[in-house]
Structure 1
């Protein structure tokens, strides 16, 4: 089995560790252990960012598929919720994240945010959030199914307004699928790239 040597580092630079990893291993297989070894809390799970490109990597892909190379630095970044300000949107569905981060737990509702990067639009990021009750956290798809398509339609309408083009159902299904997968894994934020 092919392996490479990479360096894992906390976002704040406080700790780092060099490790050999298999090219065919999924990122989740070592992210959890590295999170603990670097002194980061188990919950919520951290994101892995490829230092060379700044790309946020998804847990379900392999090292090879992620494009990680020998000697790369992988940053573990906490997924705390960002404070947001409302962007100009007639539906009010989107907000733009600020540079400051904070976390304030709620008793019955948890906010999950879709970070939408619009390619070709000055690299601006827009947030789309939903609030889930605790029993939807393990099965977020149920939230979308119980709304009889209303929540998916609200997302599709907001995406159409933001992109200025028609959104097809396959795009919405893909985005919701990735988002639900991340929610079930414990992530509070999900990055998605979209083209105008």
Structure 2
């Protein structure tokens, strides 16, 4: 079921993000490298799709990975710097954020990511609307000869067996697309 697949993806990504975050607390560069590696995997997946238009399809994953790696590096770096101890001298720009400052910065980053995702969905929706408009503009001609009727013996009346033909409103789509394409 698609819901189970989507939940599995979300849980897997959350566990990956947790592991990368914990790793980044100790090894900032390795944490950022893990984010970049994940972006490269995403870009490779996008480019290798059968309907890919080329390298351009991988750019969103790469740009997002670079932004995420830089953000992780900066936020973790600021979080792990020693804080100022009262009574000691401190050089300017030395010392990390307190928890509140870190949470504000992380929330701002999450908000920016949400806006970027919404813009991406909007742009994707426009291309879907173009496909719908294009499809609505096509009128198929009437068939030259109608289809032969279904032979009398084809429709078996067996309990639990579905009919030979399935009405459109009862048809169950079986595919692996998480988003139904509009062609």
Normalising to structure 2: TM-score of the pair?
0.21
Higher helix share: 2
Higher strand share: 1
Please say which structure displays the higher CA radius of gyration. 2
Relative contact order, CA 8 A, sep 6+: which one is greater? 1
Normalising to structure 1: TM-score of the pair?
0.20
